[in-house]
Amino acid sequence: MAADAQKAKVVIIGAGPGGYVAAIRAAQLGSGVVLVEKQLLGGTCLNWGCIPTKAMLACAEALETIREADEYGIQVGEAVPNLPAMVERKEKISEQLRNGIAQLLKANKVQFVKGTARITAPNQVVVQNDEGDTKIETEKIIVATGSEPARLPTFDFDQPTILTSTEGLALTQIPKTMIIVGSGVVGSEFATIFNALGTKVTMIELLPRILPTEDERVSQQMKRILNKKGIEILTETTIEEISEYKPTGLKAKLSNGETLEAEKLLVSIGRSLNSANLGLDEVGVELGKRGEIVVNDHMESSVPGIYAIGDVVGGILLAHVASFEGICAAENAMGMNSVMNYDVVPACIFTEPEIASVGCTPAKAEEKGIETRVGRFMFGGLGKALAMGKGQGFVQLVVDASTDKVVGCQIMSAHASDLIHELALAIKMGITASDIARTVHAHPSLAEAIMEAAEAAHGTAIHAAPARK
């Protein structure tokens, strides 16, 4: 039996990095905010994505550092990974962060409701849970239902040998062999994790190069690094069929005629958007070809008063983008006039070394008709990087030749995900390469490489030999 309808100013469906941020921002601007989530606070990012993978990558990095201890003048015994303990650590970190979000919601007087939500009218949401159905009358609705790992019909996901990223993070036994289908962000991070654990990893990529959305120089160097670690990479290759499933593994027939055997196969070929079964069609919300909710730059859908944010709108599928979209939508739902801007969005890949980028690559700048100068500096020439034992990688600064303004940057290095934000701010504020080059950077630091790359854009780098004419 449905309970009496309750009322709210804003109802938000989904409590991931978009939804819970939207809820807090809306609550800061008024009262009467209800946040609905059918699974766990923090969504995919906190529970099955960003945070768990970074926790596992931190374990992999610690393991690799111990194995390389001799290079630092330290003698240790054999480093043996304990995967169940790593998984337990990962779970504790996610739990701690979930508890933190719960406290923030409580402090901001956001009402959290556990259950499955469906939009039954432009101003009505029904939440179903074990206690029955709850009808909520509301002025505005924000959909933040996210995405889940995409699945291919080639693979039988009921088989224990076939994994998505979700199941990959839950393994408690280290497989001896693993095939990873897809060499994008997720595939490359999982290859890094399991390679460090001792798994023989083979990556299968449909396109001509790994990390196909990254700058070609980044892609080429990362392939060399992964190969050196013992990871086999097969590009321009697909799996045509799984010829045999066994309790202990599988056989995969490749498009090049080869057959591969492995204990596990992890599929990382993108995300599927969670827009089904929400009642969107019934209330007239326009959907795109992939099931994405079509929104304007205020994050409002085709139905006034219904907003959508995060992965479900099918734009840039990054947690930090979802959070900013959530702030934009919440402000508009509460009567403000906010516009979402995607001009400067840093993106990071947590391989070893890390990869981070913002703005244009040289190729993208050329496509836009921007004449550029490119400044590069290798971390192998940087004192702090060598002291850390992290001399791999480079900074590549893309500069508009006519204005000297920074229009893009790609970094491959230790802590690239931290370094990139100096460049994000530079692009946002219209800062020039000369501005960066003439800003004193601490020595020794990894950030000096950015200063050196800015100098290199003008041919005046101090710690790099001049290019041959």
What residue segments make up the domains of the chain, in order of their start?
Answer: 6-148+273-333, 162-269, 347-456
Each residue's pLDDT tens digit, 71-95: 999 999 999 999 999 999 999 999 9
Q: Give 403-429 pLDDT, tens digit per residue.
A: 999 999 999 999 999 999 999 999 999
- Is the pLDDT at 440 greater than 90, yes or no? yes
CA dist 401 and 404 (Å) reads 5
Q: Answer yes or no: pTM beyond 0.85.
A: yes
**pLDDT at position 301:** 98
The confidence score (pLDDT) of residue 126 equals 97
pLDDT of residue 1: 37
Write down the CATH number for the domain with range 6-148+273-333: 3.50.50.60
Q: Which of 298, 443, 458, 463 is catalytic?
A: 443
pLDDT at 25 over 60: yes
The closest of 256, 252, 272 to 264, measured between CA atoms, is 252
Rounded Cα–Cα distance for residues 206 and 176 (Å): 24
Average of per-residue pLDDT values in the chain: 95
Residue 468 has pLDDT above 90, yes or no: no
State yes or no: pLDDT of 3 exceeds 70. Answer: no
Which position has the token pair 């979402």? 340
- 443 catalytic residue (yes or no): yes
Q: Do 6-148+273-333 and 162-269 show the same overall fold?
A: yes
**Whole-angstrom distance between the N-terminal and C-terminal Cα of the chain?**
81
Q: Taking 70 as the threshold, does the pLDDT of residue 4 lie above it?
A: no
Positive or negative, the Cα torsion across 238, 362, 448, 356? negative
Strands lying side by side in the sheet with 264-267: 162-163, 264-267, 177-181, 200-204, 232-234
Give the residue from 174, 321, 193 showing the smallest Cα distance to 268. Answer: 193
Residue range 162-269 forms a domain whose CATH class is alpha beta
**96-106 tens-digit pLDDT:** 999 999 999 99
What is the CATH code of the structural domain delimited by 347-456?
3.30.390.30
CA–CA separation, 79 vs 240, rounded Å? 38
